[in-house]
Chains A and B, each alone.
Chain A
Amino acid sequence: GESVGLHLPTLSVQEGDNSIINCAYSNSASDYFIWYKQESGKGPQFIIDIRSNMDKRQGQRVTVLLNKTVKHLSLQIAATQPGDSAVYFCAENLDSGANNLFFGTGTRLTVIP
């Protein structure tokens, strides 16, 4: 079946350093991937997305890389700030027509001041 997983459940970084959060997916048919940030007590917040016809997309301080060959997705956060501390989820969309998302377990990012 389809699955989305993360290599590391927790990640601690020093404020100002860059963070890299990784995600593996198993379904080669997935055509759309999204990163969400979830702070304690809140719902997931959209960060950035990427379609399968791209291998890189940049936003404000964030970059998503997609490697379809090894079914790997990563989120890079530049100059990590204390406000970036949260759980980060990758999600894959198996059927863009139905817009069904499958979420991984998540990685908890802790930024050390």
Chain B
Amino acid sequence: EAGVAQSPRYKIIEKRQSVAFWCNPISGHATLYWYQQILGQGPKLLIQFQNNGVVDDSQLPKDRFSAERLKGVDSTLKIQPAKLEDSAVYLCASSLATGTQYFGPGTRLLVL
């Protein structure tokens, strides 16, 4: 069974630029999550989707971050404009409606 796929794996941008990350969850998983993991810390949930609807986006900095899952399968996370403090690993995870979350390899973002 294929795992959670993410791209790109690495991205370097300058502050105030825009960036987008893509995630394809495990087939059949209705729930998709985006996490931010700052170096030396545990992952922090940014947004959770159930199919194409948002379940929880309380920790998403909505002035600069946006995410969508239009067809209820893959998802994109966008940052516009990026700040230095956005440098982190962005992890995507998926699960059945509830239950174990399985993580992708992450996208490592460096904002200069």
Contact = CB atoms under 8 A, between A and B. Distances in A.
Interface residues of A, number: 23
Nearest to A44: B103
A66 interface: no
A44 B43 contact: yes
A61 interface: no
Contacts of A44: 43, 91, 103
B25 interface: no
Contacts of A42: 105-106
Interface residues of B, number: 24
Interface majority SS (helix, strand, loop, mixed), chain B: loop
Q: Which of B45, B91, B99, B101 has the most CB of A within 10 A?
A: B101
A98 B56 contact: yes
B53 to A, nearest CB: 13
Contacts of B93: 43
B42 A43 contact: no
A103 B105 CA distance: 17
Interface of B: 4, 31, 40-45, 48, 55-56, 91, 93, 95, 97-106
Given A43-B106, A106-B41, 13 more contacts: A4-B42, A34-B100, A42-B106, A43-B91, A43-B105, A44-B43, A44-B91, A45-B103, A98-B55, A99-B48, A99-B97, A105-B42, A106-B42
